[in-house]
Amino acid sequence: MAVSWVSVAFLAATALGASIGPAAEKQIVEKSICGKVWVTVHSLNIRLGVGQNLLDAIELNWDFSSCANLPNQIGLFGSRPTGWHSALAVYQVTSATGHIITNISLGEPDLPGGWQSGGGLRGPQCLWPWVGAGNEHVQTFNCLKIQPTWMEDYGERINKLRIGDLAIPGTHNAGAWRFDTEISTVTRDSFVLCQDRSIWAQLVHGIRYFDFRIAYYDFYDRIEDRYWLNHNLIRVRPLLPLLREIRAFLDVTREVVFLDAHHFPVGFYDQNGAPIRSVHSGLLHMVQKELGAHIAVATQFYTGPGTKGPTLQTLKDADKRLVFNYVDNTIVAENNWLWPILPHLWANTNNPTALFQYLDRAISTSPQPNARSPLFSAMAQTTPTVLDILFVRGSLRANADQVNRNVTARLASVWRQRANIVSTDFFLANDVVDVSIEISVERSNRL
């Protein structure tokens, strides 16, 4: 089922869409007569029967609220739609906005365009699932994309934006995507894993901000083996290989990446709360060793509290495209290359309504005038309670299913003017990457 497309095109801000890249390789990957359709991946596993589950079910989404005449059907396709005869499944459209969860799995397709394990073609590329909508004919279509070079693709239009004015797609607990430690259990997986794609795949899909929770375990012999990415107290993956994935991506692109050492749950502090400087120093040495060639030194690029930071062009011209934010201000004050603590807009609720009420208010009043960082991150996920975890009520996947579609809608509307970083769980279940690109271009056009 997996199809690799040599596609170097993306929907421009026009009614019919547009393409970029060499003429021989042009292929429209998105088209709209009115409204919009997009493909996402269902975060929940669907139970089909005893011992049978459907993983990564494809979702078809639409917003036809701007259409005078509502398209009456929507379909899933294995390639760019040419007519309803080629659809894998067709569904009726009965509302202006909505979604359909299909009974067809994404599977495990390779990343297209040569991006499976290294640098590939510039521009967006399509994985195999396509969505099309219309009446007698397919008038609107889109695909599940990777966006490995979007900051380069739109460079002429967004390079003048300061980083605090960008719309940046991010992932919450980015390293919690698959255990690389002792055997996991269903319970732990339900409340620990927040992503289902590697750091490399997240970058290739277009994610540019990573929320890392870093722990230190001194029972490993080698110092570099002691640093792990955790979800709270649970070890998930060793840190070093993930830093190397980020370096490999920066080596083959002109993209800017924002790495946030957001929390140190184990091993970084004494019981009295004082930082253990040797542990912090070991981490900083590892980051400098692996990413030093790409690190943007804060004192060289940061413009001070209350500002929006450097432009993308400034970072690209200096070829310093890794912004490393650090949550401990004491350590930041001792290391001039670290970027100051990045505000995290966190509702700390397991109620989706309360989450969006909080984020609506918090984003509308951000950034604060005295904020040390030019960036801020909206943590667009709900938080399970202790009782949820103890009694295995729900899961992070179920929480994401209740939130992600509304995150897409909120970013496209209520948060459109002010959002900076939007961090989500199971990011393929929303359209934050494409909407962030659209908003960044829109903001640049207003300058």
User: 59, 5, 10, 47: which is closest to 426 by C-alpha?
Assistant: 59
The residue to which tokens 């927040």 are assigned: 194
Residue type, 356: F
Show the 3-state SS of 401-425.
HHHHHHHHHHHHCCCCCCCCEEEEC
Tell me if 10 is assigned to some domain: no
Q: What is the CATH number of the domain that holds 433?
A: 3.20.20.190
Q: Is residue 297 located within the same domain as residue 398?
A: yes
Q: What is the CATH number of the domain that holds 73?
A: 2.60.40
Distance (Å, whole) CA 351 – CA 381: 10
For residue 323, list its beta bridge partners.
258
- pLDDT tens for the chain, 447 residues: list them: 333 222 323 333 323 343 333 333 456 899 998 899 999 999 998 988 777 889 999 999 999 999 999 999 999 999 999 999 999 999 999 999 999 999 999 999 999 999 999 999 999 999 999 999 999 999 999 999 999 999 999 999 999 999 999 999 999 999 998 887 655 555 567 889 999 999 999 999 999 999 999 999 999 999 999 999 999 988 999 999 999 999 999 999 999 999 999 999 999 999 999 999 999 999 999 999 999 999 999 999 988 778 899 999 999 999 999 999 999 999 999 999 999 999 999 999 999 999 999 999 999 999 988 888 999 999 999 998 888 887 778 899 999 999 999 999 999 999 999 999 999 999 999 999 999 999 999 999 998
Tell me if 328 is assigned to some domain: yes
DSSP 303-358: --TTS---BHHHHHHHT--EEEEES-HHHHHH-TTSBPPPPEE----S-HHHHHHH
Give the pTM: 0.93
What pLDDT sits at residue 255? 98
What pLDDT sits at residue 182? 58
Domain boundary among 146, 178, 194: 146
Tell me if 257 is assigned to some domain: yes
| Residue 117: CB atoms within 10 Å | 12
Tell me if 3 is assigned to some domain: no
Tell me if 16 is assigned to some domain: no
Phi, psi of 17 (to 5 degrees): 90, 170
Q: Is residue 122 located within the same domain as residue 171?
A: no
Distance (Å, whole) CA 367 – CA 304: 13
What pLDDT sits at residue 303? 80
What pLDDT sits at residue 183? 52
User: 248, 269, 270: which is closest to 257 by C-alpha?
Assistant: 248
Tell me if 136 is assigned to some domain: yes
Q: Is residue 68 located within the same domain as residue 170?
A: no
Contact partners, residue 256, CB within 8 Å, separation at least 6: 151, 163, 208, 312, 315, 316, 321, 322, 323
| Residue 437: CB atoms within 10 Å | 23
The four Cα atoms 342, 347, 349, 350 give a dihedral, to 10 degrees, of: -80
For residue 326, list its beta bridge partners.
261
DSSP 222-244: SGGGSEEEEETTEEEEEHHHHHH
Domain boundary among 146, 172, 189: 146
Q: Provide the percentage of residues in the chain whose pLDDT is more than 90.
A: 81
Q: Is residue 142 located within the same domain as residue 266?
A: no
Q: Is residue 30 located within the same domain as residue 105?
A: yes
Distance of CA 103 to the CA centre of its chain: 25
The residue to which tokens 């904020």 are assigned: 371
Q: Is residue 161 located within the same domain as residue 97?
A: no
Q: Is residue 349 located within the same domain as residue 323?
A: yes
The residue to which tokens 């003017």 are assigned: 417
Contact partners, residue 369, CB within 8 Å, separation at least 6: 305, 306
What pLDDT sits at residue 186? 56
Distance (Å, whole) CA 441 – CA 413: 15
Residue numbers of the domain that contains 100: 23-146
Q: Is residue 356 located within the same domain as residue 256?
A: yes
Number of domains in the chain: 2
Q: Is residue 69 located within the same domain as residue 165?
A: no
Q: Is residue 157 located within the same domain as residue 137?
A: no
Domain boundary among 107, 130, 146: 146
The residue to which tokens 């490999």 are assigned: 248
Which two tokens mark 6? 């040599």
Q: Is residue 223 located within the same domain as residue 359?
A: yes
Tell me if 229 is assigned to some domain: yes
Tell me if 156 is assigned to some domain: yes
For the purposes of burial, counting CB atoms within 10 Å of the CB of 297, is it exposed (0-12), middle (13-18) or buried (19 or more)? middle
What pLDDT sits at residue 20? 37
Q: Is residue 133 located within the same domain as residue 155?
A: no
